[in-house]
Amino acid sequence: MNKNIFLQSVKPTHTLPKFPEKTSLGMQENLEKELQKRGLSIAIKNKLKGGVFSQVYDAIIDGKSVVVKHTENVVPFDPTEFFISKKAHLVDTKILKLLKKSKHIKVPHVFYYYPDITTTIMEDVRNSGFQLLNNFIVEKNLPLSSAKSIGKSLALLAKESRLWKPFATNESANQSIYERGLELRLAYPNDQKQYLFLEKEFVQHNDYWVWPDGHPKNMFVNSRGDVTFIDFGRSHWGDQRYMLPNFLAHIVIYSLAGYIKPQQAQEYLQDCINAYKQIEPIGEFIFCQYLAMEVLHRANGKWIQGVETIEQKLNLHRFALHIFDSNIVSIPQLIRTISIV
Ligand SMILES: Nc1ncnc2c1ncn2[C@@H]1O[C@H](COP(=O)(O)OP(=O)(O)OP(=O)(O)O)[C@@H](O)[C@H]1O
Ligand SMILES: [Mg+2]
């Protein structure tokens, strides 16, 4: 007798939907041959670290170093994940092109774009002195000068993108908060009040475009504190108030995980928030809630480098639950919490 008829196994026993196949261009040598067939004199060299959803390489074209980004469909590996179509790539490149004209926000220049094979060849921003912000952080060397420029750029990104005409994205606000809020749902299993409130806010405020992946693995900074943003494929129409707390959650996460001194993190948050506020208003309560949701999302180490030990994970949980359970509603209270949990 089957007693498990109401259980959904992590390894589903029912037939999975037939997901679209990946193409052979997911293999480096096939992609290189295909690009050569299209007339490029290209040599693809190394796969770059990161690149969870796409295959990203450095390459040489006519003696110049460039970055090649190729995207395949991402098939879910358990029932809490969803299928991410390679069409996200088209959204990514669309945003790079929209922002090309921006006076305020820097993104890599697109050299070649092949939408039919979801491949883009772009400027390697490391050639102009930029380094990935995440690398500075994990080396315990966060440049404080980046706080102001990132705060300002995120605010200007929100403001400028409000002038864009609507276009189709690959993901929706509902899908995005479902993924990013999953750990919050699990943290409050009985009524899910905290999650449901944020879901409502996130989905109802969807008149404008949101970059939900604005974290240190998708930001480059240089010694002057200038910033370059990458990786817009998963963006969608949703609540723009999410972008700043989503970024700053990562500063809190890396502080609680031991990579940034609490006092430095507090200063960083304050500088970044001040710069943002000169351009865009901040709702403090929703800021605290979104930030804590993201800390919980990463608390078990999901898609983040360097959150591995029991101590680190417990610190993240303690901080996030403190925000929700102790009624932290203002930014000064949240900033103080970094050094007291
Ligand atoms: N234009 C660029 N110049 C230099 N390095 C780049 C550039 N674009 C991407 N990279 C590097 O490749 C990594 C992965 O790129 P990207 O974030 O676009 O891919 P992804 O698969 O969508 O990422 P993830 O899922 O890991 O967030 C980046 O973290 C960065 O280190
Ligand atoms: Mg990325």
Q: How far apart are CA 45 and CA 254, in angstroms?
A: 31
- Given a contact cutoff of 8 angstroms between Cβ atoms, the answer to whether 220 and 228 are in contact is yes
CA 231 to ligand 2 center in whole angstroms: 5
For 133, counting Cβ atoms within 10 Å of its Cβ (0-12 exposed, 13-18 middle, 19+ buried), the class is: buried
Superfamily of structural domain 1-123: Phosphorylase Kinase; domain 1 (3.30.200.20)
Q: How far apart are CA 219 and CA 333, in angstroms?
A: 27
For 101, counting Cβ atoms within 10 Å of its Cβ (0-12 exposed, 13-18 middle, 19+ buried), the class is: exposed
What does the pLDDT read at residue 5? 59
* Cα radius of gyration (the chain): 20
Q: Which residue has the CA at smallest separation from atom 21 of ligand 1? A: 51
CA 262 to ligand 1 center in whole angstroms: 28
- Given a contact cutoff of 8 angstroms between Cβ atoms, the answer to whether 254 and 165 are in contact is no
What does the pLDDT read at residue 9? 65
Average pLDDT, the chain: 95
What does the pLDDT read at residue 3? 59
What does the pLDDT read at residue 8? 59
Report the DSSP beta bridge partners of residue 262.
Answer: none
For ligand 1, whether the C-beta of 110 sits within 6 Å is no
Question: What digits encode the pLDDT tens for the residues 217-229?
Answer: 999 999 988 999 9
For residues 265-293, average pLDDT = 98
Q: Is the pLDDT of residue 79 over 90?
A: no
Q: How far apart are CA 277 and CA 37, in angstroms?
A: 50
Angle at 121 between CA 118 and CA 123, to 5 degrees: 145
Report the DSSP beta bridge partners of residue 237.
Answer: 209
For ligand 1, whether the C-beta of 67 sits within 6 Å is yes
Q: How far apart are CA 199 and CA 206, in angstroms?
A: 11
Confidence grade of residue 10 (pLDDT, cut at 50, 70, 90): low
Please, what CATH class does the domain formed by 124-341 belong to?
Answer: alpha beta
Count the neighbouring beta carbons within 10 Å of the beta carbon of residue 313: 17
What does the pLDDT read at residue 21? 82
For residues 3-7, average pLDDT = 60
Phi/psi of residue 326, each to 5°? Answer: -100, 15
Phi/psi of residue 77, each to 5°? Answer: -105, -5
How is the chain split into domains, by residue range? 1-123, 124-341
- DSSP label of 116: G
Q: Is the pLDDT of residue 1 over 90?
A: no
Q: How far from the centroid of its chain's Cα atoms is residue 157's Cα?
A: 15
Name the least confident of 25-29, 31-35, 82-86, 257-261: 82-86
